[in-house]
Amino acid sequence: MASTIKTVELTLPASVEALRKLKIGTVVYLTGRLFTAREGVYKRAIEEGAGMPAANVDLGTANFHCSPAASIEPDGRFNVGAVTATASFRFAKWLDGWFKLSGCNIIIGKGGMTSEIYRNVFVPNKAIYLTTVGYGTGALLGRGIKDVPGVYWRKELGLAQAVWVLDVEHFGPFIVESDLDGASLFERENEKIAPGLARLYEGTKPATLRRYGETDDKTDEVI
């Protein structure tokens, strides 16, 4: 099984040439520096105008939509256990500003975004989207973390929303959900599954009591 799946080891920061070689459905392992940022960071950095908490070189240019299962020991050491991503579609509205501010060219998360966002926001910024696997392979990812060189905005945002900088080795697996062309692996899979849905629903009719805003088109998504 899985013999048809291509696997790539990618070093961070990743060049455009390196990203160009990645196509949707490719399995990727990362080595280098990346950092966590989610809604708390986006709000603070972009909406509140705080900018980035540190320089690119200190943070890396791959943004993980993640809050680690981690604690800070009384002596100040970071104890990182498992890490997995949180669903990314909620953060789409901040991304254009974020790419320009952060210089990131890789977003790592859960579940991806729509191909419309990829085409309009990712492609012009030469960025790709990697999805975590599972979800989630928290323990495997935890093993790939070799060092935590810094945690920023810990006091302002709390442990879960803070910026955790992670130095990683053979960190993965991830799957390329969107490549530099802006295609979406999830949407491709949805299209393959869609034709069989009608047969499943055969003989059923919509519920007696409807709901506002409800769609009955099963090819639609909820994100």
Residues that bind other proteins (CB under 8 A): 1-5, 25, 27, 40, 66-71, 79, 81-87, 110-112, 131, 133-143, 158-160, 173, 175, 186, 189-190, 192-193, 196-197, 200-201, 203-209, 211, 218, 221-223
CB of 110 to other proteins, least distance (A): 8
CB of 163 to other proteins, least distance (A): 15
Q: Measured from the CB atom, is 48 or 221 closer to other proteins?
A: 221
CB of 42 to other proteins, least distance (A): 14
Among left, alpha and beta (phi > 0; psi -120 to 50; other), residue 6 is beta
Q: Measured from the CB atom, is 13 or 38 closer to other proteins?
A: 38
In sequence order, which residues have a C-beta less than 8 Å from that of residue 211 and are 6 or more positions away?
Answer: none
In sequence order, which residues have a C-beta less than 8 Å from that of residue 184 and are 6 or more positions away?
Answer: 24, 112, 113, 114, 115, 118, 177, 178
Do the Cβ atoms of 82 and 141 come closer than 8 Å? yes
Q: What is the distance in angstroms between the CA of the first residue and the CA of the last residue of the chain? A: 31
Note the Cα 212 to chain centre separation in Å. 31
Q: Measured from the CB atom, is 56 or 71 closer to other proteins?
A: 71
Note the Cα 67 to chain centre separation in Å. 12
CB of 136 to other proteins, least distance (A): 5
Output DSSP code: residue 87.
B
CB of 98 to other proteins, least distance (A): 20
Do the Cβ atoms of 62 and 104 come closer than 8 Å? yes
Q: Measured from the CB atom, is 15 or 190 closer to other proteins?
A: 190
Q: Measured from the CB atom, is 55 or 199 closer to other proteins?
A: 199
Distance between CA atoms of 177 and 27, rounded to whole angstroms? 10
Q: Measured from the CB atom, is 57 or 207 closer to other proteins?
A: 207
CB of 205 to other proteins, least distance (A): 7
Output DSSP code: residue 94.
G
* Lookup: tokens for 21: 């070689």
